[in-house]
């Protein structure tokens, strides 16, 4: 097949077994951003930033992410991709619509066991973006 359309959805919600969810340590909370999440943004940079202002641990109580890719093959080993990623980490379901979006293009080279992936992505949300673009190089599809 010369064209493959691929999509991914991911989500989660954190509930503390005992106590307040704000007491859950940051490494157990949700974050979005980075090469396996919302490309164009720094790793784990998307979460409710008001938590920092309030002196609370970073990270969200919930996570919603989605990605869409159009993948083209040119010959036996070369390919290209166009993609859009969107996601957010949040504490309140009312904020689930406040998503960060990244768009980009990439090249693929089939190594035989997995593709070599080179992607460049641009963040569309200034609130979470720290750079004008991000470059990702890895082995294997994004999803």
Give domain limits for the chain.
3-139
pLDDT at 59 (0 to 100): 95
* Residue 8 φ then ψ, to 5°: -145, 140
Distance CA 108, CA 70 (A): 12
Quick: pLDDT tens for 23-52.
889 999 999 999 999 999 999 999 999 998
Q: In this predicted structure, what is the pLDDT of residue 143?
A: 87
- The residue assigned the tokens 């609130």 is 127
Q: What is this structure's pTM?
A: 0.91
Q: Domain 3-139 belongs to what topology?
A: Porin (2.40.160)
CA distances from 71 to 54, 80, 118 (A): 43, 6, 13
Q: Give 114-130 pLDDT, tens digit per residue.
A: 999 999 999 998 888 88
The answer on pLDDT for 1 being more than 80 is no
Tell me the C-alpha distance between 63 and 94, whole Å: 13
Q: Provide the token pair at 30.
A: 């949700």
Residue 53 has what DSSP assignment?
H
CB 24 within 8 A of CB 10: no
């Amino acid at each position: 097949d010369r064209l493959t359309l691929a999509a991914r959805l991911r989500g989660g919600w954190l509930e503390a077994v005992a106590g307040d969810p704000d007491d859950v340590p940051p490494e157990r909370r949700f974050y979005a951003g980075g090469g396996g999440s919302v490309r164009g943004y720094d790793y784990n940079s998307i979460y409710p930033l008001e938590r920092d202002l309030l002196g609370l641990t970073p990270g969200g109580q919930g996570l919603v992410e989605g990605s869409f890719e159009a993948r083209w093959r040119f010959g036996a080993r070369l390919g290209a991709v166009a993609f859009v990623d969107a996601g957010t980490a949040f504490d309140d379901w009312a904020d689930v619509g406040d998503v960060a979006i990244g768009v980009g293009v990439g090249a693929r080279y089939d190594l035989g066991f997995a593709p070599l992936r080179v992607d460049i992505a641009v963040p569309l949300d200034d609130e979470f973006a720290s750079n004008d673009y991000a470059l990702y190089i890895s082995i294997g599809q994004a999803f």
